[in-house]
Structure formats: C-alpha cells, structure tokens
Structure 1
Amino acid sequence: MSTRLAPMLNPDFDNAFVRELPGDPDTGPGIRQVGQAWSRVDPTPVAAPRLLAYSAEMARRLGFTEADAASQEFARVFAGNALLPGMQPFAANYGGHQFGQWAGQLGDGRAITLGELVNEAGERWELQLKGAGLTPYSRTADGRAVLRSSIREFLCSEAMHHLGVPTTRALSLVGTGELVERDMFYDGHPEMEPGAVVCRVAPSFIRFGNFELPASRGDEALLRQLVDFCIRRDYPQLRGEGQALYAQWFAQVCERTAVMIAHWMRVGFVHGVMNTDNMSILGLTIDYGPYGWIDNFDPGWTPNTTDRHQRRYRFGQQPQVAYWNLGRLAGALSLLFDDVAPLQDGLRRYVETYTAADRDNTARKLGLVECRDEDIGLMQALQDLLTQAEVDMTLFFRRLADLDPLAPEPALFSEAFYDDGKRDAAEPELREWLSRYATRMQQQDLPELMRRDTMNAANPRYVLRNYLAQQAIDQATQGDISGVTELLDVMRRPYDDQPGREAYAAKRPDWARSRAGCSMLSCSS
C-alpha cells in the first residue's frame, strides 16, 4: 500500500471521474469482471525509485518546479510509492475490439490514475502511472513495465507533441530498482529486464472501449452516465440536450479523430495497435506500444510483430481503421438513439474532415497555396515513386523545400535512397516528376522563401526513428540516461535545423534494418 505524504509538492486535485461515476464495490486485489466504470486500486511500491528523466515543459504546466522534480519525494510519488493529498488512485474499466475482434473486458491492466490535477490556469490533467502494479484488469500479466518500453512511451509522447500531433503527454520516467521478466518477441526466450514507471498525462484517458463495454452488456444506464459525464467534463463547449447533444458530441469525436490521423500520415507515424481500447475520445494519440516512423516510404509497413501477417494496422490503412473504429463506437452509442441517422452523419463528418485535412497536408508538404484536384494525382504519383524506389519519406520531403524550380535536379535527393540500384533505375521517373512539380510551382504566385518556410513547417527535420530510440535504450540499460535526455531535447524542435545534431536526422543505417527494436517490435516493446 502506498503511503501518504505531507508534501513539498502541493497540487490541487478534483477527481471527477471517481466522484461522478459508479465504482467497483470490491476493493480487493483479485482479477475479476467489473460492472462499474472504475476500481479503487493503489500502486504497488517499488524497491528503489529514481527519477531518470522528466519533461520540464509538462512539469511547469502542471505547477511543479525544478526543485520539486529534483526531490526524492517526486520520484517516490511518480513511481507509485507515495500519494499526495487529494490523490484517489483507480484503474478504469473498458473493453475493446482487438485486431478486429471483440475482446470483452480489458481495462487498465498496468495503468493506475493517481488523480485529476487542476493547474493555476484551470486546466484539468489526469496523471496516470504506467507500470505501477496489478489491477483487477491485469488478467495474466504482472502490471509492470520494462525500461525499454517506458523510454519509448516517454520519448514519443513528448516528440509527438512537439511535432504538433494531438497526443497524451509524459511527465516523468522513473526507474524502479527492480527486474521484470519479459519475453520480448513471445518466442519462449524470456529475460529479466530493468523496470520503470512512466507518468503520462492527458485531460482525459477515456477511450472508445469505455463505451463499448457497457453497451456490449446491455447496460444502457452506465453507458448514458459515461456519455453525459464525458460531455460535461471533456466537451463543456457543447450545448443542447438529449440525442441532439449526443449527436453533436459524436460528430466532434469523429472530427478530432480525423485530424489526429491526418497528422499521423503527415509525419509518417504508424501507431501499430489501433484497437478500439487504444482510441482516445478526445482524438489524442494514446498508448505508445509497437509504434514507428516509416523510414523508406511504405504504405504496407507495420511496426507490430503481432500484426506482421495480417498487417491490419499498416501505415496506409490507418485512415480506414480509424473509420472502422468509429463505427464500433457508433454501434455502442446506438443504444441511446432512436435513429442511427445522426451517427451516420458523424461518420460522414469523419470522412469530410479527413479528406480536407489530407488535402491540406498535400498543399503544405508540397508548398502549394491551395490543393487543386490535379495535385492529388501529383502527390499520389510521388508516393508511388517513393514506394517503388525505397526512398526515405522524412529526408525526401525535407529536401524538396530546397529544390530550385528553375533547375529541378534528382541529385538533390541522393541521400534519401536506401538502395543505389533502385535510385539509378528511378532517376528518369524522378526527373519527370520533378519537372511536373517545378511547373506547378511556377503556376502560383508564392515567394520562394515563403514556400520553403511553409514546407519546413509541415515536413519535420527530425522524427523519433526506432533506431534512435533503441540506441538511447541501449545506453540507458547500461546505466547511462544521457541518450534519452539528448534525444528528448532534439525532439523538442523537430522542424528546426540544429547544427551539430545532423546524426539525428540521418536515415536508418543498414545495421538497423532488421535488428530487434530498430524495425518491428512486439506489444511488450
């Protein structure tokens, strides 16, 4: 049981989720089916909590000072060894569709929310520990997390924020001083690895699955309570009542999801596990497991070893999967509607919003004042070329801003190719595409500097490539956390050229093509 402190840290908590929604009457530790929205559970203390890294920006936003973060008390709280006054830890109950199949009750199996902090600006932030021990939803797992997966979640949460992608955030990464057994690729070769706990932060961690579970059980009362609560707390700007209000809310969820997915596609991010229990009701990227950035442009790539045969969650299919997931949410919410037409309208809103955002991506990535219909074909032709010739997405689009429309030379992109033979074979086709692109540039009245600035604001110089994260993990496993802090600092300014840090912008090296952690990862990664 965690101990409560008289803290140096003194945030304000207003725990609406546990106050306003029904909780599990059983407070015991056992794994069980739960008919309520949440279960009371304390984090399990660890042997030797030590702060390894933290996000200074997120700490300040929450009201924590640099001195707070440097204190042992901070490490104890965000390892799960102590609670601050006002914290009421719980694990949320939800279900979900996993890889297209209904999985029943899932819930927070290794995530424990400490409470809802309200900062001086009036912002509400849910503080959640991942890897903090067993909950009633842990099933056959141990409730813990290893250092490598915790580093990946910590870094990616912050990297995505600085890329401008809607995301949950990360406050801290704490080492536990304990070892955790993991079979990284589920191949019968488990190893003992250092443990860690991440404190992740979001206005809400409610997922599509929170609504799916009561609907699957025919519990309309709890489903309605959850919807009313989510609108009241997380969508206070909406007005109205009854089914009209619910329709507005669902349409907003669809819009936010579309915007998030469009950002993923813009920067080349692949989530890897787009199950409905990993879909945020606020349209935030949530649950960083076997994610990745595509190196060579490949719409068929997935970073998830579990999905390597089906490739359901491959890069190019993410917009369609999000639509399918929203359809499952709509199915759950249909219990509250007399007519499904408003839900169908919401799904159409997703398609419209995503289409508009995708066109905007095309315009910004290519440096266009507007995206004409023919520009869709121009972008598709480029993507086909990048796929066939094995070209690095991030490097190519970043260099495209430097192209001289009066002398469009393929040599500008030589470093973006992964295969010299494919580069040579693709040279005539690339030259022809660049000529088409240069002609398009000359058709618009946009100063060259403005075009470059527009493109460089949409096409990052730095992304959190898997091999970069793995290098930082390797160092940290040996006791050197400097690779994590340096990588975090680089990712704070992903659109800026950072002299001296060119190595972080390099394409994937050959040694990383098939190395564990540098290409595909498992759900335990």
Structure 2
Amino acid sequence: MHPLIFDNRFIRELPGDPVKDNYTRQVSDSLWSAVQPTPVRQPEMLAYSQEVAHMLGLSEADMQDPAMIQTLGGNGALQGMFTYATRYGGHQFGHWAGQLGDGRAIYLGELIHNQQRFELQLKGAGETPYSRSADGRAVLRSSLREFLCSEAMHHLGIPTTRALSLVTTGEPVVRDMFYDGNPQFEPGAIVCRVAPSFTRFGHFELLASRDELPLLKRFIGFTLDRDFADWWPKTGLLLDIDHPGQALIEAWFAEICTRTAIMIAHWMRIGFVHGVMNTDNMSILGLTIDYGPYGWIDNFDPGWTPNTTDAQGRRYCYGRQPDIARWNLERLAEALATILPDSHGLAQGLSQFDQVYIRELSTALASKFGLDNWQANDGELINAVFELMQRAEVDQTLFFTHLKQLDISQPQLSTLQAAFYTEQGYQQFGQDVQAWLDRYSQRVQQSALTPAQRLQRMSENNPVYVLRNYMAQEAIDLAAQGDNTRLLALLEVLRHPYTEQAGMEEFAKKRPDWARQKAGCSMLSCSS
C-alpha cells in the first residue's frame, strides 16, 4: 500500500484540549481533543465506495489491504494520521443544548490528494470527551443507512458529505431503538465519512456562547483560509487570519446562506427529509451532513417527518425545512454578531438566503414539470397538484417519473395510475387530477421546449430511484445475517438514479403496504 499524504492543519494551527485522558468533560478555549479510537474485535469490510476511494487516491487493492481495514475499523492508524474529536455546541429542536461535540466520531486527519483536502472521520469508533452518556459506538443499521445515503445523495447531485467504507466490528452494541426502555444488542459497525470540512454552525455558536471571542475570530479566519480558499480571494478583501474584517465576515456569511439555500432547494426537489436539522447538523459548506432519521417522501405530505422524536411537533418535517434552515442561519448570525460592531450586514445575508432559495426552487420546479421557465401563474398550477397529491395519497417520485410519459396532446389519467397508493384515492380524486392534467398540458404546449427537450429536462431532475427507507431496512436485515448482496445492489443502482436500468425495476417501486408502519420503514429514531 502506497503512503498517503496528510496535512493536519486543524490540529496544527488551532488550540487543542490540554487534558489527554479520555473522559466526558466540559472543554474550554479549545477546538479539539486528542483521542484514540477504541479497538474492536474483528473488523470486516462490508462495502466501500469505489468513487470515494478513487477520489482519495486509493486503489481496490488498498481498500482490501488488512492494514486499511484495521484502520477503518478503529484498530490503529496509518502513518501521518492523527486522531481527534472536535468541540462544538448547537440548538437542538429549537433549544440551546450547550457543548455537544463529536460524541461518536473520531477524525483520522486531513488527507491531501490531487491538491484537494479531505477530512476523514470514523463514526462509531468509540468514546470521546464529548460522548456525554453514550458509548461512542454505532450500530449496523445506522451505519449502513449513512453509508448508502451519503453516496445516493452525491449521485443525485445534492451537496453532501461522502462515505468511503462500511466496516462491521464483530462486537454487539446495546441500543434502545424506540426509546421505550427495551434496549437490545445489535451488530456494531463503523462508517468512514469524507468531506472537505465537517465544520458546523455549532462550532462557532459554542465559542460565542462561552465568550471565547479571540478564539472565535481566529477560527473564522482559519475556516476562511482553509475551507474557503477558492472563494475569499474573489471578494477582493484582505484576510487577516487572526482578525478577519467585518466586511469579509459579512460576505462569508452571505456565501454560507447561498450554499445552504441551494442545498435545501435540492432537498425539496427530490423529496428528501433530513429529519434532525439541529444547528450542530448544519455544514458551513452547505453540505448535507449527519444522516440519521432521514427519509424520502413516499405519499406526498409536506407535514411528514421520518423522526419519531419529532412526531408531535413536526419541527423538521418536509415542508418546514426551508424555514428551519433560515432559523439556523439566524442562530449562526447571532454567534458571528458577537465580534462585530453591528449585525446589519448579516441581515443582508439572510435576505440573500430568501432570494437564492426562491430562485433555485422555482428553477427546480420548472425543470421537474418540464417547463421552459417560471411564469407568474405556475405557482398556482403546481400548488394545486401538490394539494391533490396529498389528498389522493400519490407517490411523489413515481408521479414525476410517470408525468414525463404523459401524452401532452391527449393527457390520460391512467398514465399516473401506478403512482396512487390506493384504488380509492384513484377513483375519488381521479376526475380532479384529470382536470389538472388538462391544464398542465395546455401550459406545456405554450412552452418553447421541444418534446425531446422537455423529456430531457424532466429526466435530469426527477430520479427514477431513491433510497426509500424500506429498501434500506431490507439491506440492513440481510447484512445483519452476513449477506451484503442487497447493500451492494442498492449501492450500484443508486449510482445512476436518473437512468432506468434493466433488471432494476424492483428498486423503482413505491413503498409496499407491509412497510407503511414497519419499524425502520416509516419513521425512525435519532439512533437510526
């Protein structure tokens, strides 16, 4: 195995926790704590992403090397790696939670390949000083879900962290999946996550809340210089790493707002629900981060949340994601305002979020419906069908994959029949849906797009395959028995989500009735 190149700027340039012992504690005036992964009994490679391995300069032989498998299982580290956990806080379900930090994620360092920087992180590798009451471990079901979804989102064109590998540990982990006082042993696993940076809103929030303002300034300067090196020089503003200026901080915040708006518009485009949009789960790079109780909308419902913890308040339901993203950005703005004379410039960044989100969502919806551009009356037309889809219980993904097959000259309701979950819904609301199809066809005929252009635009924005929760659960059930065939099949089909693939029809079907209320197939807990 050839040597890997690491340049661990985070721990080299930012202050670390002086306490070296690994026990749960409050940490101050530091951004990281050195910690070793807890060794496991028998690490085995269950799956890995060939694309991510190639991105990191790793060959197939490298990924099968015993030393690499041991490392990805938390048993030691390769030359140049330095293992640590970072300190951050966050607002969880709308309330300030204080210090949080990497409670079950341990960094392996910053790998450099092809002049690009990648942070590598093992999730489920053992306790850290930020583990609170948890054991720092992860179970197979949550690790497999994160591994698959990271790669699925990338191939859908969504800004996201990536996943290199999924390794089973050979050790059981105790988890109370439903938080009902009935914990059970589950297979343990570790996923290696990869991103240019895992820095979150909560990193800056905690420093501001603890009045560690010199360190907050320094960390902002470091983040600009390391994680926004391709952006800040374009502003024409100078960067003093230890004392970044107000104008640059305001411009940077606006850039974060822009990236976040683009990410959320993508989520809404494909029907993805994150499930736990706490500020400690928000990336300053605008990447989708921390895949826990996520889900894709099956039958269209803007009030649906996959998170059992959120079942009553539905704070993080599908339809509220744009508002929550803005709320989270407001909390970040409050943190940044602690080192600025005033917050007027930050308010402009929030306005930019609003503008970019509306622009991106309008563009996405026009493309999903095969329209040439967004016109004034399109909002009413599109809202009307979404309301019908909810009342008639229509599958969001299948609705759009079948809508592109519609004969615009003679639109027929039967084209969409497979997207209805019940015959009752089809019969009761079919006349209303047919009336809408007639209106929609008239609108399409006014478009400047040719039929081929319309089909191409719809195909590029409406996935045939998404990672429905029941599919992930099927892969989990088999993997728990040592069978990774379903996992690998999903990994492969989700590499080309916009293209119909021969022999993969089963992965394009709507949620079966047996999965409607089944554990893991509908709603999930935060431990998922």
Per the TM superposition, whether the score is higher than 0.5 is yes
TM-score, normalisation: structure 2:
0.97
Give the letter aligned to residue 315 of structure 1.
Y
Q: 2:467 aligns with which of 464, 467, 470?
A: 464
2:140 maps to amino acid: L
Matches within 5 A, 1:110-259: 110-119=104-113, 121-236=114-229, 237-239=231-233, 240-241=237-238, 242-259=245-262
Query: What do residues 62-115 of structure 1 show as CA deviations (whole Å, max 9, x unaligned)?
Result: 011111111211110111102111111110000000000000000000000100
Unaligned runs of 5+ in 2: 239-244
Cα distance in 1, alignment partners of residues 25 and 254 from structure 2: 34
Could you tell me how far apart the structure 2 residues matched to 1:459 and 1:229 are? 39
Q: State the Cα deviation string for residues 191-234 of structure 1 (Å, max 9, x = none).
A: 10110000000000000000000100111111111111110001
Q: Counterparts of 1:327 and 1:388 in 2: how far apart (Å)?
A: 34
Q: Is the 8 A contact 1:467 1:508 kept in 2?
A: yes
1:366 and 2:366 matched = no
In the TM superposition, residue 499 of structure 1 has moved relative to its aligned partner by 1.0
Partner of 1:5: none
Q: Counterpart in 1 of 2:48?
A: 54
Shift of 1:169: 0.1
Aligned-partner Cα distance in 1 for 2:414–2:43? 52
Aligned with 2:322 (options 319, 339, 350) = 319
Deviating more after overlay: 419-428 vs 501-510: 419-428
Q: Distance in 1 between matches of 2:129 and 2:504?
A: 45
**Residue equivalent to 1:523:** 526
Partner in structure 1 of residue 449 of structure 2: 446
User: Runs in 1 of length 4+ with deviation above 6 angstroms?
Assistant: none
- TM-aligned CA deviation for residue 20 of structure 1: 1.1
Measure the CA separation in 1 of the matches of 2:152 and 2:447: 34
- 1:410 Cα deviation from its structure 2 partner: 0.6
Contact persistence 1:362–1:376 (CA under 8 A): no
Structure 2 residue 19 is the aligned partner of structure 1 residue 26? yes
Give 1:423 deviation, angstroms. Answer: 1.2
1:381-420 to 2 correspondence within 5 Å?
A: 381-420=384-423
Segment drifting more, 333-342 vs 206-215: 333-342
2:61 aligned to which of 67, 74, 81 = 67
Please state whether the residue corresponding to 1:272 is helix, strand or coil: coil
Is 1:76 aligned to residue 33 of structure 2?
Answer: no
Cα deviation code 1:107-135 (max 9, x no counterpart) = 0000001000010x211000000000000
1:276 is matched with 279
- The one-letter amino acid paired with 2:171 is E
Residue range with higher mean Cα deviation, 446-455 or 151-160: 446-455
- Aligned sequence identity (%): 58
**SS of alignment partner, residue 82 of structure 1:** coil
Q: Which moved more, 1:313-322 or 1:81-90?
A: 81-90
RMSD: 0.7
Which of 260, 264, 274 pairs up with 1:261?
A: 264
- Confirm or deny: 8 A CA contact 1:93 1:137 kept in the other structure: yes
**Contact 1:50–1:176 (CA<8 Å) still a contact in 2?**
yes
User: For 1:262 and 1:418, how far apart are their aligned partners in 2?
Assistant: 26
**Is the 1:129–1:198 contact (alpha carbons within 8 Å) kept by the matching residues of 2?**
yes
Number of aligned positions between the proteins:
517
Following TM superposition, by how much is the alpha carbon of 1:445 offset from its aligned partner in structure 2, in angstroms?
Answer: 2.1
The residue matched to 2:47 in structure 1 has which SS? strand
**Does 1:287 find its partner at 2:312?**
no
- The alpha-carbon deviation at position 9 of structure 1 amounts to 4.3
Give, as a single letter, the amino acid of the residue that structure 1 aligns with 2:164. L
Which structure 1 residue ranges, 5 or more long, are not aligned?
1-7
Distance (Å, rounded) in 1 between the aligned partners of 2:507 and 2:25: 46
* Preserved contact between residue 11 and residue 117 of structure 1 (Cα < 8 Å): yes
The answer to whether 1:93 aligns with 2:65 is: no
Q: Kindly provide the CA deviation profile for residues 229-264 of structure 1, in whole angstroms up to 9, marking residues without a partner as x.
A: 110001112131411111111000000000000000
Deviation (angstroms), 1:420: 1.1
Q: Deviations over 1:419-445 (max 9, x none)?
A: 211111111110111011100111122
Q: Give per-residue Cα distances to partners, 1:481-502, cap 9 Å, x unaligned.
A: 1111110001000000001110
Indicate the larger mover: 218-227 or 148-157: 218-227
1:40 matched to which residue of 2?
Answer: 34
Report the AA paired with residue 353 of structure 1.
V
2:106 aligns to what SS in structure 1? strand
Conserved 8 A contact 1:78-1:199: yes
* Matched residue, 1:490: 493
